[in-house]
Amino acid sequence: MCSSLARYESIKCRKKLSDFNDYICSIKGKADVDSRWIEMLDDLQKSLGLENNPQVFLSFHNLLAT
């Protein structure tokens, strides 16, 4: 039971990270975003380990498949 709960929490956390990373990328992709905001978002992605990290997305989908 405990491992099922831990797995569920892990999936939920990875999903939130994946969604947050998608949100950051969507903001950065807008033409009217100031370059300082893009730099701050880049720094945020780096600090969270999300920058150019498809593993967050792939790990989430791999967990769902198991």
Annotated domain spans of the chain: 2-65
Angle at 61 between CA 64 and CA 43, to 5 degrees: 130
Per residue of the chain (66 residues), give pLDDT as tens: 568 888 888 888 888 888 888 888 888 888 888 889 889 988 988 888 876 655 555 555 555 555
Angle at 2 between CA 62 and CA 8, to 5 degrees: 30
pTM of the model: 0.61
